[in-house]
Chains A and B, each alone.
Chain A
Amino acid sequence: MIALVLLFDACSLLAPALMGMPIAPGGTFTVGVVFALLIVLAAIASAVYYVRHLNREDSMTPSSQGPRTNG
């Protein structure tokens, strides 16, 4: 995820020229928005996977830890 975000930053800074060639009008925006959307969706998907995975693990592992209250 960190690599994706840094790649997004770097690609945006290098745009609109790609290897010295200008990108078609609107191309940078379309690619940028789709890239950003993919990062956001990847974040949400990884969060859902992580939580479900750990919840399943928790339910299969007998634990001495019970609910606790503060103080």
Chain B
Amino acid sequence: MNSATVTFLVFVASTLLITHWAARRTHSRADFYAAGARISGTQNGFAIAGDAMSAASFLGLIGLTFEYGYDVLYFIVSLALSWVIVLLFIAERLRHLGTYTFADVVCLRLARGPIRALAAAGTLTVAIPYLIAQLVAAGTLVQQLFGLSYAQGAVLAGLLMTIYVTFGGMIATTWVQIIKAALLLGGGLLLLLLVLQHFDFSLSALGRQAVVAHPRGAALLQPGGMYGTDLITVLSLSLAFIGGTAGLPHVLMRFFTVPDAREARHSAALALSLVCGFQFIVFIVGLGAAALLVGHPDYSPQGTQIIGGSNMVAIHLARELGGEPFMGFIAAVAFATILAVVSGLTLSAAATVSHDLYAQAIRRGTGSDVDELRVSRITAVTLGVTGVGLAILFEGQNVAVLAVLPLAIAASSNFPVLLLAMYWRGLTTRGALAGGYSGMLVSVLLVVLGPSVWAGAFGFEEPLFPYAYPTLFSMPLAFLLAWHVSRSDRSVAAEAERAAFAQQMIRPFSRSPGSGGAAAGN
């Protein structure tokens, strides 16, 4: 049994014990969806950072830095700004106004049925491709490292995530995420120290070696490797991160697990610091990989064509610097990262089906906690089975293609609707639906017609939409339509919705401690 298997088995055993412990503490839907609001700000900060530090941002960004160098800084600065937006505009007010899902906040003063359907559509359209992308990555990783087949890897990840969510709910999901965040930060930091130690802690020596070794030479440290001089793609990427992070349902849901807005604020600030620090670690490690692995006979004998694909750069670098045991540790942490993120995604998707669709839109708040939890658990199992099936179907697909869609949709649908609902008095149901659905449809359409899917996945020579990310077009369109349709809505219902804004704003401050959730009757 190799070190990767041992580390992974220890992680799985610990998380299953946590799930058993969490299952005994999960009695109500508040426990299942929001851990009974008993998670502290610091714990939640680690859990949110864990959600943000996915396999894409660890394995993916190290691979991109290894290949393209400088351009990864676009991701880092955009991500930093995205967390400032979450902290300043989203975290506190979301916690004030909501209960379990972001739809609770949006439909406080808007029509319940159609708005919850929109939120559910947005959540599922974001969560399912993201889930498939993570499971495809899990299958590939297991295939490379543990000697199992791709399908067995996807099934293993799907099975574990279903167990965490179905039995342990948000309590188990949060603690799995906290443990994984600590492991990933520790592993990343150790990898950074080993890289720096190799170059006697001299960043300029590291840079010089990378330039000498890399086929792109000095261009590795110049902008343009990934996106050339395409301003529209770079701005779209920045907007996708800025709006997408603030619109990801599994991240938003975490703000309901803390007891009050003060803790929500604290957790967002901590998550921001951890994520930003981690991204810089990843960038330097990626440059270290370019300096040490390019042309290495064991890992990358032909230039930057790394064995196992660019997602394996971090794993190979760990082996080069720390030998088999350290490689095993990093590989197990990478798999744990995938498991933790898919659990959060599954929980947010299950919550939107059971809470937004079943309990609020269909049963109109008349169902019992037991019924709602049963629907949630059935949904989690269904998502697990569907996700694994689709991941097997998508074997060999570029994970980055699948991962672009969620951020773009979240930025173009969930984010505009949520932001306007919380801050703009004039938003009406018709405006929210027009903005939300148009942003969602246009972003999906443009991604499909763009270079990643139309040319990359479908194999056509030229994409019908020339830019990799649609956000520069789809996000302003969503805001514009929401604004225009709301402004031109002269219905009686629209007037009532505008009038209810003031009440929405004072509502949390007049609520007595421990009273029911915002959407209890909504």
Contact = CB atoms under 8 A, between A and B. Distances in A.
Interface of A: 1-2, 4-6, 8-10, 12-13, 15-16, 25-26, 28-29, 32-33, 36-37, 39-40, 43-44, 46-48, 50-51, 54-55, 58, 63-71
30 contacts: A2-B242, A5-B81, A9-B235, A12-B73, A12-B74, A13-B224, A13-B230, A16-B222, A28-B70, A28-B222, A29-B70, A29-B207, A29-B221, A36-B77, A39-B77, A40-B77, A40-B80, A44-B272, A44-B273, A47-B268, A47-B269, A47-B273, A51-B266, A54-B262, A54-B265, A65-B511, A70-B33, A70-B37, A70-B256, A71-B520
A5 B100 CA distance: 33
A26 B69 CA distance: 13
A70 B520 CA distance: 10
B218 A43 contact: no
A1 B269 CA distance: 16
B273 A26 contact: no
Nearest to B92: A54
Contact of B223 (A26, A28, A43, A54): A28
Contacts of A66: 512-514
A4 B383 CA distance: 41
A6 B235 CA distance: 8
Nearest to A45: B273
A48 B76 CA distance: 19
Interface in B195-219: 207, 218
Contacts of A25: 218
A70 B100 CA distance: 7
B84 A47 contact: yes
Contact of B73 (A32, A47, A68): A32
A68 B276 contact: no
Interface in B71-86: 73-74, 76-78, 80-81, 83-84
A19 to B, nearest CB: 16
A13 B229 CA distance: 5
A58 B513 contact: no
Nearest to B237: A9
Given A65-B511, A70-B256, A12 B235 contact: no
A63 B517 CA distance: 19
B509 A15 contact: no
B2 interface: no
Contacts of B513: 65-68
Nearest to A51: B269
A29 B234 CA distance: 17
Contacts of A29: 70, 207, 221-222
Contact of B83 (A15, A43, A54, A70): A43
Contacts of B231: 9-10, 13
A10 B246 CA distance: 24
A58 B262 contact: yes
Contact of B28 (A40, A58, A71): A71
Contact of A68 (B28, B83, B511): B511
B29 interface: yes
Contacts of A63: 509
Contacts of B453: none
Contact of B36 (A26, A28, A54, A70): A70
A60 to B, nearest CB: 13
Contacts of A16: 222-223
B31 to A, nearest CB: 9
Contact of B260 (A10, A13, A68): A68
B272 A15 contact: no
Contacts of B272: 43-44, 47
B119 to A, nearest CB: 17
Nearest to A11: B223
B70 A32 contact: yes
A51 B508 CA distance: 20
Given A43-B80, A44-B272, A44-B273, A71 B87 contact: no
Contact of A71 (B29, B223, B266): B29
Contacts of B266: 51
Given A43-B81, A50-B88, 10 more contacts: A5-B78, A13-B230, A28-B222, A33-B73, A51-B265, A54-B265, A64-B510, A66-B513, A67-B259, A71-B520
A5 to B, nearest CB: 5
